[in-house]
Structure 1
Amino acid sequence: MSGMEAEKAEAAAWFRALRDRIVAAFEGLEDSHDAGPFADEPAGRFEVSRTHRRGEAGEDAGGGLMSVMRGGRVFEKVGVNVSTVHGTLNPRAQAAMAARRGLPGIADDPRFWASGVSLVAHMRNPHVPAVHMNTRMFWTPGAWWFGGGSDLNPCIEYAEDTAHFHAVQKAHLDPHGAGEYPRLKAWADEYFFIPHRNRARGVGGIFMDDRCTGDWRADFALTRDIGEAFLPAFVPLVERRRVQPFTDADRDAQLIHRGIYAEYNLVYDRGTKFGLETGHDPDAVLMSLPPLAKWV
């Protein structure tokens, strides 16, 4: 196995292991919720199905696992997807990626390989923030790069929750250089902004794309720490807020906020566009959409 093939396999295995830990942690939150709203209902469980990508000629081009939980005690809908896919970029995706990245090889050779884990959680209690996280590796014959991040999307904001979420991320990024957290935080603030609403999607987090310093091992380590920061940044917020009572007005605010979230994912999100343009399972790509939303 060549060096890059071994690195691809290592990255794909780590993304799968992260997926497994998150699924177990989220089911654990369902089991431990024994007080407050919805505590007397059955604990939720993930339904797991395989996803498949078909290439331009209909050939098998990889796939993964789509894990979705609906109607739990804590999670109204949460999806945790992992996939490893390969094939050739269609001309539209190839041109778009070549223009944006400016990396060698994409314009001349459409072959690609990609692996990653992605999750979006929409919560039952409006006091518990929605959240998004993904990490990924992408390869073409001329280059490889990493991307990912996580961001918090509360409909009812608590300053202490925002501070905790960012502090955990900073602690995980600081070993990679004092400038990494501020840079990735600013990138998230820019990326998760909704121009037609003139507002941010949530309270931010961290985000990076096209990470290719030439040191694969260092870039992969940073990507892993973005993923490792997720559970300690998010789970304590769930445990803190899931027991709080809420009103009909709180639920209304949650549904309106979900509408704004859906607008962003359908209009601006790069991952959504890439998944649909490259033939991945549309149910897996659109897993991020909330089960219920409202527009005023």
Structure 2
Amino acid sequence: DTQHNAAWAAGGALVGAAVVAACGRMGAAPAAGGGKPPAADAQQQQQQQRPQWKTGEIGLSARERRGIWRDFVRDVQDQITDQMATVDGKAAFVEDAWQKEAGRGEGRTRVISDGDVFENGGCNWSEVIGENLPPTILAKHPHLKGKKFYASGVSMVLHPRNPHIPTVHLNYRYFEAGDIDSDELEPGNVWWFGGGMDLTPYVLYDEDAKLFHQAVSDACAASGVPEVYLPLKKYADDYFRNKHRGESRGVGGSFFDYLDGNPQKLIYQGENKEVQQWFTDKNAYMPVMTWTQLYNFARNHANAFLPAYSAIIERRRRMPETEETRNWQLHRRGRYVEFNLVHDRGTLFGLQVGGRTESILMSLPALVRWSYMYKAKTPEQQRLIDVLEKPEDWLGLEKKL
């Protein structure tokens, strides 16, 4: 999403409500009337016409949903900053807590710099309450004009010092518009989840990319929807891409946006028409899922991050670097900056809603280099470029379909 680094202007509790609707599978159809006779009164007719994935069956009010998500993303931030500071062993995360006027938002920006492992990075939690939706949201949902909205998320980017350790990004966010302070079970609000995580190596190790993608795949399986991994992987390949360069930012991972359990949407929501058609032919529509199930889906993905990335760090942190690998790393970081400033929706969203500029741009590396017409100088560097230009099927799933 995207990286949506610090985009929600910065930046788990378990849901106690019972899950009513069973998690659907790829190709599940929208809930239907089942041949029942027409409703006898207007109220029942209106109820039948409601989109079933957004009704009171979720058993939670808007205020309760907001509280559950808030606890979750704050906990994710705590876990990441605690464990990554321990892994680094030298530097600690420094917190900058902030609050917007009149209760319109708050957050905690935590940054790390000059460590043994991490040259710089940050992990943000934030929440924003606003009266006017930004253009990036209204472009897709014009009917929300004039509605109050709530946006909250956790966002992290880490730039390691050693070129053998990849840069990593993670972001999970929640958006709701309408009567966001309602205590009713179903005030008719519009809501969705978004997020993902992706890996940006400078020296490509296939086993690291496979480990990272397997963690994403396992998170999908833990959520009861193993089939959504491939569409989300493809979406990440499309989203985390420098279109002006014709190459991906890294080896991807997963990406999802506007996830609301609507079975009329493809899981893959990228812009590639050929991929859209491919998934349409495979009947790869979004599973019918309740708010609680989608929350657990995001939680399972966030929980998959630390074990996978910590293992990669331990594999690579003692590998020696050379002047050439360092120069290559700094050059490739330039492409990372280009993506964040040119393509990232989260950066645009954060700036449009008046977010904290320092927190939003926390994702940028401390040191970077641009060189005119810089070319790969070794077979290993060229191998990375080849994979960035044509994303790899790391788990070998495409050939099975």
* TM-score normalised by structure 1 residue count: 0.89
Alignment pair present for 1:46 and 2:93: yes
- The letter of the residue matching 2:225 is G
Alignment gaps of 5+ in structure 1: 32-42
Equivalence for 2:202: 155
- The letter of the residue matching 2:72 is W
Equivalents in 2 of 1:274, 1:110: separation in Å? 17
Alignment gaps of 5+ in structure 2: 1-59, 179-188, 263-289, 372-401
Equivalence for 1:280: 355
Bigger shift: 81-90 or 196-205? 81-90
Equivalence for 2:116: 73
Matched-pair contact (CA < 8 Å) for 1:166–1:233: no
Matched-pair contact (CA < 8 Å) for 1:52–1:280: no
SS at match of 2:209: helix
Choose 1 or 2 for highest CA Rg.
2
- The letter of the residue matching 1:207 is F
Matched-pair contact (CA < 8 Å) for 1:66–1:81: yes
1:67-104: per-residue Cα shift (whole Å, max 9, x none)? 000000000001000012111225xx2x431222x47x
Alignment pair present for 1:198 and 2:246: yes
Percent identical among aligned pairs is 38
Equivalents in 2 of 1:212, 1:291: separation in Å? 37
- The letter of the residue matching 2:108 is L
Equivalence for 1:83: 126
Give the aligned length. 274
1:135-181: per-residue Cα shift (whole Å, max 9, x none)? 01011013010000000001111001001100111111123313211
Q: 1:188 aligns with which of 236, 252, 268?
A: 236
**Higher RCO, 1 vs 2 (CA within 8 Å, ≥6 residues apart):** 2
Alignment pair present for 1:145 and 2:192: yes
- The letter of the residue matching 1:134 is N
Matched-pair contact (CA < 8 Å) for 1:122–1:131: yes
Bigger shift: 156-165 or 168-177? 168-177
Alignment pair present for 1:97 and 2:137: yes
SS at match of 2:198: strand
Alignment pair present for 1:117 and 2:154: yes
Equivalence for 1:37: none
Equivalence for 1:17: 75
Equivalence for 2:306: 231
Greater share of strand residues, 1 or 2? Answer: 1
CA RMSD of aligned residues (A): 1.4
- The letter of the residue matching 1:199 is E
Q: 2:87 aligns with which of 26, 29, 32?
A: 29
Equivalents in 2 of 1:231, 1:289: separation in Å? 21
Matched-pair contact (CA < 8 Å) for 1:53–1:279: no
Equivalents in 2 of 1:202, 1:173: separation in Å? 21
The ranges of structure 1 where at least 4 consecutive aligned residues each deviate by more than 6 angstroms after the TM superposition are none
* TM-score normalised by structure 2 residue count: 0.66
Equivalents in 1 of 2:144, 2:308: separation in Å? 36
- The letter of the residue matching 2:114 is G
